[in-house]
Chains A and B, each alone.
Chain A
Amino acid sequence: MAGTHTHALFVHGDSELHRLPASTKLGALGLFVLAVVLTPREAIGAFGIHAGLVLLGAWIAGLKPLFMARRMLIEIPFVLFAVFLPFVGRGERLELMGLSLSIEGLWGGWNIVAKATLGLAASVVLTATTTVPDILSGLDRLRVPRLITSIAGFMVRYLDVIAGEMHRMRVAMLSRGHDPRWIWQLKAYTASAGALFIRSYERGERVYYAMTARGFTGRVPTFDVKARPKDWARALSVPAIAWCAAGWAVVAG
């Protein structure tokens, strides 16, 4: 029953990007996304440079275009409304293939789609080259509050266990003739959700005992790789170029 979701985003490899400490990659991603967001929407050239940087990252990491494209599909529901902006936007309009489009709306839609796509593509490169445990310890290293990283860590660790319990409860219900097709059978589901909550709560107590038994006093220790200045220099070269492009666009525009 051991699931695969923890490494579902990760692509095994041994590239420069895979080897960089997670903290530097997270820092670089944050700064890169900020540069993308601050780039004026009219600066097409700057967006070209941003896109070039992401593609370079994907190439270094050995990620295939088809893989990137598949990962990017998740973006569709989020940018769907941006497609409507040219139709509903106000101001000057332009006729294109018989459609009346708002110029302001076109820019607005482009702004959303371009920035979301670049941010997501950069995140895809990060998650494909960094395991979840490494991302968590990288966040620790970047001084994200320990409470938050601990909660995220427990969530990752126990998602499978709880999903397994839920699955077993469902199988047990089906095995005894439960046929969850009718709305009035929802009752059994709500009852099992309650049971699942109690079970998870009790597991939490047992995990706490196990932690106490090994000297836990309220602080989860961290075991991250300390990044060398060299690693930071490498990682930050990417957002540095993005910031230059954005800055140039602001000054020139």
Chain B
Amino acid sequence: MSIPALEVVGLSYHYPDGTEVLRDAGFHIHPGERVALLGPNGAGKTTLVFHLNGIFRPERGTVTVAGLPVENANIMEIRRRVGIVFQDPDDQLFMPTVRQDVAFGPANYGVEGDELHARVSDALSAVGMLDVADRPPHHLSLGQRRRVAVATVLAMQPEIVVLDEPSSNLDPASRRELATILTSLDITILMVTHDLPYALELCPRSLVMNEGRIIADGDTRAILADRDLMKANRLELPLGFDPNYGR
């Protein structure tokens, strides 16, 4: 067995007001896998994501990225290894130009000169956004901004890319274009989403999270087809959508 790209064991966390958000959550993801993290609002998905690169620290349990535990001593390396694409690209893209924003991550790790330039060009090419490199992010459409947000983490050459609601607010064409890009990348992906058809399209495997626990872990199609499991966890497919269609 290879070393998991991401391993979460017995993770527990509660907010300062006492609300339990994560209860003994655990799973692991192997290199090259694309996994969807499904669950209703308030299930603890975003809190879990913030634990993956050490923005939040676990009360109990551990998070390990490619064999390296998340702790203060190696927090910088962890943040390089885990690339998080946040839901709102306006939070992610804060530099005056697209090129500078994509360069921000690698530059923080001392990459400079020609290598930095190559990293930026490669990352932007991978998402088809090289031609907007010198434009300010707020001149781009939401779909373009989200692709640039993906490039900002690709430039850091991460072990795993974590996407928070990548398809939210995108029009159908932008949603499909992003799917094409994500499947073309040779990279490990954890995708938090409410968009269940998107999860089925992109991720062979899914995790279901509810009330801070991982309730189910398995084949995406089988999970979406399990009516009792879906209903118990407030997951609903779009009207008329059949996960077994075309099988």
Contacts and interface: CB of A to CB of B under 8 A. Distances in A.
A6 B91 contact: no
15 contacts: A2-B139, A7-B136, A153-B96, A157-B94, A206-B86, A206-B91, A207-B94, A209-B55, A213-B86, A214-B104, A215-B76, A215-B79, A217-B108, A223-B99, A223-B100
A31 B50 CA distance: 49
B71 interface: no
B55 A157 contact: no
Interface string B95-118: 111011001110111000000100
Interface in A185-213: 203, 206-207, 209-213
Interface in A127-142: 132-133, 136
A67 B198 CA distance: 50
Report the contact-size class of chain A (Cβ under 8 Å from the partner): 20 to 34
A156 B107 CA distance: 21
A157 B137 contact: yes
A213 B55 contact: yes
Interface string B72-87: 0000100110111010
B124 interface: no
A59 interface: no
Given A161-B138, A217-B108, 20 more contacts: A6-B96, A6-B138, A6-B139, A133-B97, A133-B100, A136-B96, A153-B95, A153-B96, A210-B84, A210-B92, A212-B55, A214-B104, A214-B108, A214-B153, A215-B108, A215-B156, A217-B76, A221-B107, A221-B108, A223-B99
A216 interface: yes
Interface of B: 50, 53, 55, 76, 79-80, 82-84, 86, 88, 90-97, 99-100, 103-105, 107-109, 116, 136-141, 152-153, 156
A220 B105 CA distance: 10
A156 B82 CA distance: 29
A209 B56 CA distance: 10
Contacts of B108: 214-217, 221
A160 interface: yes
Contact of B91 (A2, A210, A216): A210
Given A210-B86, A223-B103, A160 B95 contact: no
Report, nearest first, the 6 A-B pairs whose CB atoms are least far apart: A133-B96, A215-B108, A221-B107, A214-B105, A206-B91, A160-B138
Interface string A112-148: 0000000000000000000011001000000000000
Contacts of B88: 206
